[in-house]
A and B are shown apart, each in its own frame.
Chain A
């Protein structure tokens, strides 16, 4: 809650309250203060959601021109017992100024210093691995902000980021901004990240104010309360388009009400289950009523304040996520909290952790531009692996099995592997089978490789021992380095021929065919001759 007195809370709802606004800034090192004489209206607003970074906006209609990039401070005043009590809303940066010729005034749009994070993410001056807390500190140093929690503990503050996640392996942009990164850190820390009135970047958690406002603080129109959200009792971490989920706690509640975090780059690896307990600790039990109401003005609630609204005999517990305070001659405040996106995980297909003997996971690695799907099953004697990987310019599929066996001849423990691999690039496709057997204690590998490219289809057995190549003109079989057979059009002879070296004759029932040598002009050749007759 913003600092205020009990008299403030009492007076703000009273008939005849008197308001004031003060804007102070510095121009050319000269401090300037303007008040309601020069200010026509002020609107303070923020729009947030669970586990996101949230930036405040200040819109001013002023008779005084204030240049862009000026940093100004806004205070809202209420006359209490004859003197004004002010609430400090903090500092804002003038983002844009527009002259309104019809009213001869200036419309200023200002944001708090989270605006500094709305720039492309750049390499930080850090070494990996680095803790979450130090990483945030490095971001703050880069942005020119002070980190309020630099020396305090918060959820997952000491987890380590192993390497750069928001630039590719060459250090090029992946189109993240620092604001995007802060959003991900909000999820990791189970908090909302914001800038406070002292211009510090803050890891903010829910604040139980135990404060209640009643009908006297509400207008008699637009007062809506919906269903209750929560209580949250399950946390789900999801990656790869919600296809790969883990959950916490390990024993699911009878009626799980989950909060799902999807595709967080920091919590994207097989240690992601380590982040869950801290996140669960912060979110477990969170519940609030969906609401949308217009108030006559409360003004002292802050982001993530949990408070109550009592109407008649009904008390609604609410959470501040969205707030708009409009100050003109009068005061009006619109508060609303929307239903967070509801998700429902199929827990039969999810698990508690990725670190198991049998693994099934799907990883999107933006840094190395790969997508990997793995199913891995292991036992004492065998291991099976099915793997599918997409990288830039290549798709690879592989199914392999490894078996541990005892060779009967030598009694030695031997591992033999069978593997099938299919690889597709932009100019060829390959299909390879490796088969491993034991013969007299020695592992024998047989390898077949089929390659398809613009030159044709080639089949290779045990690498160079046997190779066949079929093109659109001919079919050639090689054994080692020399030709065994040729069928088709011979470019050298410019003829369509069949050529088989060292071919043995074969008996056929319709007569005899005999292979004999003959001379065709000056060339010695071999041909098949039908002798005919009956055997």
Chain B
């Protein structure tokens, strides 16, 4: 939940000033034993809740992109966000999906989105 300008952080960088939207997903990962039992009831093991934050960046300047892109390209990052279940800021180790930037003219980027996916289940 984006409760204030500083409630979303990528490593040590506050993302609030760079983004126009943040979508918070709390995805359940089910084990392979999930399915219906003999009583017809759905059953299975919940491996855990793996939060995923999809941020929509506004068009970034060259300097801003140079600051952020190494982190977006790194295999893992630390994302700190406010978790309403925990009722506190939570830091999670994440990996990212692919990202792309569209230029419509020289030095004119369009905004882009990227997903930060938790590597471990939420404690």
Interface residues of A, Cβ cutoff 8 Å to B:
13-19, 214-220, 223, 296-297, 311, 328-332
Contacts and interface: CB of A to CB of B under 8 A. Distances in A.
B46 interface: yes
Contact of A216 (B32, B41, B44, B45): B41
A235 B107 CA distance: 94
11 contacts: A15-B41, A15-B42, A18-B46, A214-B39, A215-B37, A218-B37, A220-B35, A220-B36, A296-B33, A329-B32, A330-B33
Interface of B: 28-29, 31-48
A220 B32 CA distance: 14
Contacts of A218: 37-38
Contact of B38 (A220, A297, A332): A220
Given A217-B37, A329-B31, A329-B32, 12 more contacts: A18-B45, A216-B37, A216-B38, A216-B43, A218-B38, A219-B37, A220-B35, A220-B40, A311-B38, A329-B29, A330-B33, A331-B33
A147 B120 CA distance: 45
B45 A219 contact: no
Contact of A219 (B28, B38, B46, B48): B38
A121 to B, nearest CB: 44
Nearest to A37: B120
Contacts of B34: 330
Given A18-B48, A216-B38, A220-B38, A332 B33 contact: yes
Contacts of B43: 13-15, 216, 296
A291 to B, nearest CB: 14
Contacts of A219: 35, 37-38
- Name the 3 nearest CB pairs between A and B, nearest first: A330-B31, A330-B33, A215-B38
Nearest to B34: A330
A48 B89 CA distance: 52
B112 to A, nearest CB: 33
A243 to B, nearest CB: 48
A16 B46 contact: yes
Contact of B45 (A19, A214, A220, A223): A19
Nearest to A17: B45
Contacts of B36: 220
A14 B46 CA distance: 10
A329 B42 CA distance: 17
Contacts of A331: 31, 33, 45
Contact of B32 (A217, A223, A330): A330
A410 B64 CA distance: 136
Contacts of A217: 37
A296 B43 CA distance: 8
Contacts of B46: 15-18
Contacts of A14: 43
A14 B42 CA distance: 9
Contacts of B28: 16
Contact of B44 (A16, A220, A311): A16
A214 B39 CA distance: 8
Contacts of B44: 15-17, 296, 330
A20 to B, nearest CB: 11
Nearest to B44: A15
A155 B32 CA distance: 46
A476 to B, nearest CB: 91
A387 B44 CA distance: 69
A330 to B, nearest CB: 3
Nearest to A14: B43
Contacts of B32: 328-330
A519 B34 CA distance: 120
A86 B26 CA distance: 27
B36 to A, nearest CB: 6
Nearest to B120: A37
Contacts of A296: 33, 37, 43-44
Contact of B47 (A13, A215, A329, A332): A329
A297 B44 CA distance: 10
